[in-house]
Structure 1
């Protein structure tokens, strides 16, 4: 479901397509997700959150500064976009835009996903010396900028918006570091 949402959106992904893509019997879908597509969508958003969280954690290994971590993450995202011919995007933003006003369950899943990315980025920024409220605000801005850059990159079929976001984020984080020093 996750890859299908990335390619076709939540609304464009039917349960028959999910079953066919998974190569599983239809009954197993309803056994594991008796509440149907909405429950499966929430689980896909949760999986996307976990994968992106792992990407951030892997990128932070070593003595990387927050700016370096963001550059590493953006390099991975740019590779994913380019490698998929700009077909794969962030399933969390897709579900948020399509279903956030219609399904409280999916909106909550998306909000939790974004929070699961903001919090570790905030921790990383805070560990580099920023006060906690400043780190939280910067982390929220970073996640928002990266998400927006992925969308613009898909629309323009170019990784340039992602790399522009990386440059802006580095400036933002560097200026914040100088201000708190």
Structure 2
């Protein structure tokens, strides 16, 4: 694996667990076992440039995962249930859902720059686009599909935060049922 990808792969969980402000460049360099010169060779603009690369990497993984689930499921209701069931299973097995969300990073958005916000916004828009497409194929109007997609994003991300703070998968299970009722 090349050094830049290694730095990104090792830094993703650090940012997810500790947030942007909670991780310093020194900690990243130590965890990646690279020199300061090597770090800045790959990320000349520092930690924020690394964060953007990490967010782009996470975005690709999450988007591909959601697309696969929604392509394999005949309806939005079944796709949403399958997606949330996976999140619940991951949480119950690992005690976290950090690999499926950027929530811990996004929570610091007030202090981050426009390029970071743009990458995060792009991920949420990609997710909404997947949801809208499936909802429209289920017969919802574009306007209604857009509204439901925004609510799906907000509900799922909010439930993830509640799962992490309550140390329980119940919030995801609850929204799975509530969202399911919307698709009838």
What TM-score does the superposition give when structure 1 sets the normalisation length? 0.87
Question: d(CA) in 2 for partners of 1:30 and 1:82?
Answer: 38
Do 1:46 and 1:109's aligned partners in 2 also have CA atoms closer than 8 Å? yes
2:146 is aligned, of 136, 142, 148, to 136
Task: Could you tell me which runs of 5 or more consecutive residues in structure 1 were left unpaired when the two chains were aligned.
Answer: 175-181
1:12 aligns with 2:22: yes
1:127 aligns with 2:137: yes
Question: d(CA) in 2 for partners of 1:139 and 1:15?
Answer: 37
1:27 aligns with 2:27: no
Q: CA RMSD in A?
A: 1.9
Written as runs of structure 1 = structure 2, the 5 A alignment for 1:1-181 is 1-86=11-96, 88=98, 91-174=101-184
Which deviates further from its counterpart, 151-160 or 16-25? 16-25
Question: d(CA) in 2 for partners of 1:91 and 1:10?
Answer: 14
Question: d(CA) in 1 for partners of 2:183 and 2:31?
Answer: 42
Seen in structure 2, the aligned counterparts of structure 1 residues 167 and 135 have a Cα distance that, compared at 3 Å, is same
Task: Could you tell me which runs of 5 or more consecutive residues in structure 2 were left unpaired when the two chains were aligned.
Answer: 1-10
SS at match of 1:75: helix
Shift of 1:168: 0.8
Do 1:45 and 1:91's aligned partners in 2 also have CA atoms closer than 8 Å? no
Shift of 1:63: 4.2
Shift of 1:41: 0.9
Q: How many residues align?
A: 174
Do 2:87 and 2:100's aligned partners in 1 also have CA atoms closer than 8 Å? no
